[in-house]
Amino acid sequence: MNWIKPDWPLPAHIHAAVTLRSGGVSVGAFSTLNPATHVNDYSDHVNRNREIIKEMLQLPSEPVWLQQVHGVRVIKADTVNGLECADASYTDQPGVVCAILTADCLPVLFCGDGGRVVAAAHAGWRGLQAGILSETFKQMNCQSVLAWLGPAIGPRHFEVGEAVYNAFVDDSAVYKTAFQAISSGKWLADIYQLARIQLNHLGVKQIYGGGLCTVTDAARFYSYRRDGAVTGRMASLIWSSKS
């Protein structure tokens, strides 16, 4: 199977998936199921890969793709016209597919109020530090929320410098638990733990996933850091069935 079904207790009418790097038509560094248009892959390959994803997941509509910029803008997916610059989307409408693209950054899927609202967020360290998860949570406007942490760079491979460490720890000392010092001015960062800290602060207690490392599993995942910046992307998607 060329996609992962997230393991979390979703209502029956909510569906989620993460595509793998297999099953598509792209070649070389982008082989094979790359759905990203911004990585210099051939456009006809990307378009065909998007068709393959839509077919294999039986999506009710074309995913709402975003131009991701490591920011905090969150859009309502069912109001989008064209390619919007944002790092998260949400919807309360059935048949609308929220989607984000990642290759080491953390994809976070949300399901709120028993499936009344769903959302997808692109959470690299910059987005996490800036508040993309809290902004997504705010825009969803739900009383209860489940979150699932998708494939991302694992805590043994995400080496960061003093600027990243200080960006979080200056906000709150609680973030120190997500960093392991390895040398002077160098740390290993646990992006999953950073996200869990923020989600817990928001009152999200049902948090799932967070155990899939993009760097170590080259057969299934693209990795920006492992592959030297030239690589494809996985798509993380969530949607509600049409009535």
SS3 state of residue 130 = helix
Q: How many helices (H) and strands (E) does the chain have?
A: 5, 15
For residue 35, pLDDT beyond 90: yes
In a domain, 179, yes or no: no
Could you read off the pLDDT of 112-157 as tens digits, one per residue?
Answer: 999 999 999 999 999 999 999 999 999 999 999 999 999 999 999 9
Count of domains observed in the chain:
1
Determine the average pLDDT of the residues in 46-64. Answer: 98
In a domain, 194, yes or no: no
State residue 242's pLDDT score.
Answer: 73
What does the DSSP 8-state code read for residue 201?
A: H
- Residue 238 CA, distance from chain mean position: 11
State the residue range of the domain holding 112.
3-152+203-240
E-assigned strand segments in the chain: 3-4, 14-19, 66-67, 74-76, 84-85, 88-91, 98-102, 106-112, 117-123, 145-149, 159-161, 179-183, 186-189, 206-209, 234-240
CATH of the domain at 53: 3.60.140.10
SS3 state of residue 214 = coil
- Residue 168 CA, distance from chain mean position: 20
Q: Which residue has the tokens 């993309």?
A: 132
In a domain, 181, yes or no: no
In a domain, 188, yes or no: no
**Paired tokens of 122:** 């692109």
In a domain, 161, yes or no: no
In a domain, 63, yes or no: yes
Distance of alpha carbon 97 from alpha carbon 144, whole angstroms: 21
For residue 106, give every residue at least 6 positions away whose Cβ sits within 8 Å of its Cβ, in sequence order, or none: 122, 123, 124, 128, 149, 150, 152, 191, 192, 195
Confidence of residue 162 (pLDDT cuts 50, 70, 90): very high
Confidence of residue 3 (pLDDT cuts 50, 70, 90): very high
pTM recorded for the entire structure: 0.98
Radius of gyration of the chain from its Cα atoms, rounded to whole angstroms = 17
In a domain, 103, yes or no: yes
In a domain, 127, yes or no: yes
Determine the average pLDDT of the residues in 100-120. Answer: 98
